[in-house]
Structure 1
Amino acid sequence: MSKAPRAIRLDHPGQEEIVGDGAIRRGAVAILPESEPIDAAELVVAPAAKRGFSWGTLFVAGLSGFLALAAGVWIENTIAALMSQNPALGYAALVCAAVAALALLVMLARVLRDILRERKVEALRERATQALAGGTPDEGRAIAEELVGLYKGRAQTAQGRAALQEALPQLFAARDMLTVAERSLLVPLDEAAQAQIAIAARRVSLVTAVSPRALIDVAFVLVACARLLRSIAGIYAGRPGTLGLLRLARQVMNHLVLTGGIAAGDAVIQQVVGQGLAARLSAKLGEGVINGMLTARIGLAALAVCRPLPFVEARPPSLAEVAGDLASWRGSKDGEA
């Protein structure tokens, strides 16, 4: 039986009690004073603390400076010694040193260009993420135009750039602009990147399955992953140099750690072990399949890092889409059994 409703009076005289901070207690109910509204302009977010130079950075900088000075002194002494013995040899050494210095400057300029391009892509992706969260139409238009400028020198994006520039005046929302930009420019690049990932995964799976030594497996997987990273970076933002490739590899590893993809993952376990492949295959062939899928996982992480826009309308590619055919022959085996 339910209890009948009853009324509780909160205004009994003599039962009010001030309990502190302006709060008034009436019986079992405490009435708090209304606070003043907080102005949003007064909320100051503390900036993130900038990471200073570590001892490792100082060590590398000091060692690099010392080696540069030592190399300069050695070159100067060598040229001076050759000049004193034979002026022709001295001038020849001077020309060789000048050519080497010019080549070094060009290499450093290319490395700087690659790093600036990678940072531009990173900044563009961060701005696009913020614009999707609630950006203005001007921000979306600026990002789309910057994306057009990024792929201005590519003939294969000419049709997509023309379609995007034609559609921009008719769009009035940042998300719509980025959606059209993704559909016009990035979807064909995504397909090319996925094709490269699938090719690298199949190659690694085949080679590591038939190679006789584990050292050959490790060396081939490292080379294949480096080539895959450079290929994906070339599809989205230009081929990086050696230092740019190392920086990209570090970003990919950070992405894998943050997303939990450094392990094989549920997809790999389901496709290799959970579906009974381990009982049907030799250990070597099973290792080849796993290595191929892990290579595909690294390729997907590189795609997410190198892509200048986050996925807006398009769906991120899955491991099964780029490496599912590594175990597709299992169906034919089951049919024959």
Structure 2
Amino acid sequence: MSQTPREPRAFAVDEDDTAKAKKAGKAKASPKTRSAAREPRAIDDAARVEMAEEDFFATEHLPEATAPPPPPRRRARRFGLAGIGLSALGVIVTLALGLWLEQLVRDLFERHPVLGQAGLVAIGLLALALVAFIAREIWAIANQRSIAGLRAETEKALADGNARDIAKATGRLEAHFASHPKTATGRAHLANLKGEVIDAADRHAIAERALLAGLDAEARTIVMNAAKRVSVVTAVSPRAFVDLGYVLFENVRLIRTIAEHYGGRAGTFGTIALVRRVVSHLAVTGTIALGDSLIQQLVGHGVAARLSARLGEGVVNGLMTARVGISAIGVCRPAPFEALPAPRVGEMARTLTRFTAAQQGETDRDDKNGAS
């Protein structure tokens, strides 16, 4: 027996019955329930999230920021009592010298006219030599300032990354070595690259390698030879003041040699200015004395145990001379070390200690041969 599915049927809902049920429910609700269905009000003490002006997690591991120190105030140059006294002393010495020369010429003319004329010629030659000496000193000081300005300009241009300033500094560097005989090969190489399209920074690096690579190698050799001479003289000198005087003489001569090696001019007063700049460079870099790491290196390799007391003093004085030479290179070099490595005391320390140890071995062999 099969049953057929029936079709869905619709039925009607009485709207009146539904409305009556809703009214009955509202009537049963109490007044308190009706009052509870009011509009929500804002709550003052509700929890809310406020965005901080500064991200705490971004600055959690950063060091505490401190205000930068104010720039040092430059002292105004005043013409004080010392300047007045020195100026007055110079005037007095000049007048006394003039009166003495005048009296000398008068006495010579009284003796014989030929003697007076010879005295006048000698005074004229002395005046010309003095003028030439002053002009040479002024030229040397101006040349040193020009090199220092070129180095500062190059450092600033490389730090800023300005292509025009870098190209200008490179041109000044090439002009500085235009007449230097030891840079002829480098200048020829740069002349071949004149028409090439090269970035300003890369061109400066090429110019530094072409012009200064050979000069830097020779400067290292000059400094190393001076350090060896100081080491030997300190080891064999009988008195402390002898080796002290030689160390000072060798350091001053080394500074002059390095300045002339890089195309500078060092006169008498120019050398004094160079020495002041080198000492200032040593003080700024904080290496006017030997560092603990260098002393530990010497002691760790057993150099102090193998060398005698005098040779050990020679090594220390030689290393100090090497440090002065490295500072002189940093001051007299017309460009900073950018594409080429700067010389280091550690490299020269190893060479100097090997040289001193070899000297110690030769001395020991000579003593044994003499004893036998």
Report the TM-score when normalising by structure 1: 0.80
> Structure 1 stretches of 5 or more lacking a match?
1-11, 16-25, 33-44
Equivalence for 2:77: 52
Q: What amino acid sits opposite 2:176 in the alignment?
A: L
Which deviations, in whole Å up to 9, do the C-alpha atoms of 1:167-207 show, x marking residues without a partner?
35435544223211211111111111100000001111111
> Structure 2 stretches of 5 or more lacking a match?
1-41, 55-69, 361-372
Which deviations, in whole Å up to 9, do the C-alpha atoms of 1:257-302 show, x marking residues without a partner?
1111111123531343343332332211110110111000000000
Of the three residues 280, 286, 293, the one matched with 2:319 is 293
Residues 175-214 of structure 1: matches in 2 within 5 Å? Answer: 175-214=201-240
- Give the superposition deviation at 1:70: 2.3
Is residue 95 from structure 1 mapped to residue 121 from structure 2 by the alignment?
yes
1:135/1:174 contact within 8 Å kept:
no
- Give the superposition deviation at 1:114: 0.7
1:272/1:289 contact within 8 Å kept:
no
Is residue 231 from structure 1 mapped to residue 257 from structure 2 by the alignment?
yes
- Give the superposition deviation at 1:59: 4.1
| Segment drifting more, 267-276 vs 173-182 | 267-276
> Matched residues in 1 for 2:208 and 2:281: separation?
22
1:232/1:302 contact within 8 Å kept:
yes
* Secondary structure of the structure 1 residue equivalent to 2:178: coil
| Segment drifting more, 218-227 vs 298-307 | 218-227
2:170/2:207 contact within 8 Å kept:
yes
Which deviations, in whole Å up to 9, do the C-alpha atoms of 1:130-170 show, x marking residues without a partner?
10012432222222221122111122211211222433543
1:228/1:299 contact within 8 Å kept:
yes
Q: What amino acid sits opposite 2:312 in the alignment?
A: G
Residues 311-330 of structure 1: matches in 2 within 5 Å? Answer: 311-328=337-354
2:306/2:357 contact within 8 Å kept:
no
- Give the superposition deviation at 1:48: 6.7
* Secondary structure of the structure 1 residue equivalent to 2:288: coil
> Matched residues in 2 for 1:248 and 1:157: separation?
24
2:144/2:265 contact within 8 Å kept:
no
2:260/2:266 contact within 8 Å kept:
yes
1:296/1:322 contact within 8 Å kept:
yes
- Give the superposition deviation at 1:92: 1.3
* Secondary structure of the structure 2 residue equivalent to 1:315: coil
> Matched residues in 1 for 2:280 and 2:153: separation?
20
> Matched residues in 2 for 1:69 and 1:256: separation?
42
2:256/2:271 contact within 8 Å kept:
yes
- Give the superposition deviation at 1:13: 9.3
Cα RMSD, aligned residues only: 2.9
- Give the superposition deviation at 1:46: 9.1
Equivalence for 1:264: 290
Of the three residues 155, 164, 186, the one matched with 1:160 is 186
> Matched residues in 2 for 1:107 and 1:271: separation?
47
> Matched residues in 2 for 1:154 and 1:231: separation?
15
> Matched residues in 2 for 1:255 and 1:75: separation?
44
> Matched residues in 2 for 1:263 and 1:315: separation?
23
- Give the superposition deviation at 1:67: 1.9
Is residue 220 from structure 1 mapped to residue 246 from structure 2 by the alignment?
yes
Q: What amino acid sits opposite 1:299 in the alignment?
A: G
Gap change, CA 1:318 and 1:171, over 3 Å in 2: farther
> Matched residues in 1 for 2:272 and 2:240: separation?
24
Identity of aligned residues (%): 40
| Segment drifting more, 197-206 vs 136-145 | 136-145
1:131/1:175 contact within 8 Å kept:
no
- Give the superposition deviation at 1:326: 1.7
Of the three residues 240, 259, 263, the one matched with 2:266 is 240
